[in-house]
Amino acid sequence: MAGRLLVLRRHVHLHRRVIPAQHPSLDAAPLVVLHGLFGSSSNFNTLSRKLNATRSVVLADLRNHGASPWDDDASAEAMAEDIVELLDSLGAERAVLCGHSLGGKVVMAAALAHPARVEQLIVADIAPIEYSMAHEGWRANLTIMEAMGALPEAVLGTRGDADAALREAGVAEAGIRAFLLQNLVPEERRFRLNLHGLIAAARTGVLAGWPAHLPPAPATLPARLIAGRRSPYCTAAGAREAFDRLFPGAEPQTAWLEAGHWVHAEKPDEFARLVGQPFA
């Protein structure tokens, strides 16, 4: 198109696990669940067993995470193309997409770029906005990445040594360290994260950014936002307004849970109910 630069995004083949439906329904599209930054598909192992009554659940690792390939393009648009390739490889014309945090940004971008492939959209505690690196959540994310990236190989041989080193590097909360150390591969003295690529994407604003040129989704696309009242992500200025504008098929009111950013971990039963709840 004249006056516009076409940027072709390269997709990667995501590592995934498929949990079959207990009582399969022929017309039930699969539910694809995506984790957040520093996470992996294993974060939703327990939740998947609450959601596979009539539809299969697909747990995938985002690029640069878990067992998926690395690619230094960490933009939401590039990762959205990974989801399309995932659906193609599964032979799924459409799917219900659910994503938490960074995974939520990815499923939103996929729904806006390829609305015909999305039956329903469920976003957990993130908004379709560009977060400043002054934002407390994203600032903390960069600090954590830099702390992990600066650890010497000598301390990565055991979980105990790595935990102590992270604590000394300023990652004070034991729960966060335990979560991060799920990525440790001690026998190889490394993390299963593309820290170099993620740090670069965070420093340049790509990771916290948002592709503002994407048009709103059709009003026929059902969308639901599940937010934590104690989280800084959906309480940020303009967060709710941006979601409502881009997803006019959203329910009139966002579902707020008495939780922080990890809504699915803090309120698993309520979260599962909202993910499985039919749209009006």
Q: Which residues are catalytic?
A: 101, 261
Alpha helices by DSSP H, 23-173 = 45-51, 76-90, 102-113, 136-149, 159-168
Hunting for tokens 């648009």 — which residue is that?
Answer: 77
Closest-CA residue to 250 (of 261, 237, 240): 240
For residue 35, the tally of other CB atoms under 10 A from its CB is 26
For residue 70, the tally of other CB atoms under 10 A from its CB is 16
Pair 263, 231: CB distance under 8 Å: yes
SS3 call for 60: strand
Radius of gyration (C-alpha) of the chain in whole angstroms? 18
Closest-CA residue to 223 (of 251, 184, 191, 245): 251
